Amino acid sequence: MSTYQKLGVIVSDIETITPTIKRFTLIPDENTQLPSFTSGSHLFVQMQDDDNHYSNAYSLLNSPFDEQRYQIAVKRGEHSRGGSAFMHKKVAIGNKLIVSEPNNLFALVPEAKKHILIAGGIGITPFMSHLHELQKQNAEYELHYCYRNANDNAFTQELMASGFKDKIVCHISSEGTRLELDTFISQLPEGSHVYTCGSNSLNDGVKQAAQKAGFPSHQLHFEQFTLEDKTGDTFTVFLAKSGVELEVDSESTILQVIEKNKVVSVESLCREGVCGTCETMILEGEADHRDQYFSDEEKQSQTSMLICCSRAKGRRLVLDL
Ligand code: FES
């Protein structure tokens, strides 16, 4: 396991792409050197708005050969009061942000004979960096960009004016050109790998079509953060070093309760059990691990836990805080 490094960056540009989507360009601050990244990588952006802490994961959409900056696109959820609303309303050019170093859970597979990229709406972002890599490799590839209507086609104009345009097909459901997944997947050449990023329904559609067609499941790749449910029974947590006992209600995480009560400062980054930053030693009790960070053996050892997402198995935990 490895902990993500935190990086200080400055917002050097903000472009309004559609009424709900903005592109942010991030450059290193005076103490940071940006690590290089591979296409398909994401990073976490840490945000604090008064007492509320957020952390959202965003795919890097610029070229991986551009070592001077990171670019992300943020879609504001219709009813968002969290991270995406913060990015849209409160972040301005010149602001400093803390982000994680990039990590890649959606890498291209070198042995693929053909790369089939299927994007739904804002799910286009990781593919925008993949296009640069595929072009450089002179690889066989095609991108299918699916969206409902003009409001969803954030990057169509830009892509259609790029050197990749001959490899891109747009499927617009309001115009009746929806991608017919069953037919499409059943006709893919042998050795193709299919990469999908979009809504759950698009992901499910690809999975079902692949199953029907007998398309090998190990040649299917999805970019989705499978975030675990963080809710559960109420329990108490005793912070041994601080000498404070707190109740963690069914809707809150241990980290949120500690922050709300301002007992002790705990470092966090992803707040989703992915990065390991909030790892805390367990002194008594057992954790109900909800993270994607520890191995099964590490979870069984009950030595430490990630307090941004994991809960107690019993009624009480004692932590080394
Ligand atoms: S903050 Fe990333 S695992 Fe808890």
* Closest atom of ligand 1 to CA, residue 275: 2
Which residue numbers in the chain have pLDDT < 50? 1
Tell me what pLDDT residue 247 has: 97
Q: How far apart are the first and last CA of the chain?
A: 22
Structure tokens at 202: 């698009």
Tell me what pLDDT residue 80 has: 59
Tell me what pLDDT residue 151 has: 67
Ligand 1 centroid–CA 250 distance in Å is 19
By DSSP bridging, strand 41-49 and strand 96-100 are antiparallel
* 43 SS3 class: strand
Residue to probe by mutation, ligand 1, list 56, 274, 294, most atoms within 8 Å of CB: 274
Structure tokens at 64: 């991986």
Tell me what pLDDT residue 153 has: 76
pLDDT tens, 109-155? 999 999 999 999 889 999 999 999 999 999 999 999 999 876 667 89
Tell me what pLDDT residue 228 has: 67
Phi-psi category of residue 191: left, alpha or beta, with phi > 0 → left and psi -120 to 50 → alpha: left
Flag whether 275 is marked binding: yes
CA distance 224 to 58: 11
Tell me what pLDDT residue 239 has: 97
| Beta carbons within 8 Å of 176's beta carbon, 6+ residues apart | none
Tell me what pLDDT residue 1 has: 47
* Closest atom of ligand 1 to CA, residue 267: 1
E-state strands within the chain:
6-18, 21-28, 41-49, 52-59, 70-75, 96-100, 103-104, 114-120, 141-147, 168-172, 192-197, 220-222, 235-239, 244-248, 279-284, 287-288, 304-306, 311-312, 316-319
CA distance 309 to 288: 9
Flag whether 308 is marked binding: yes
Tell me what pLDDT residue 225 has: 58
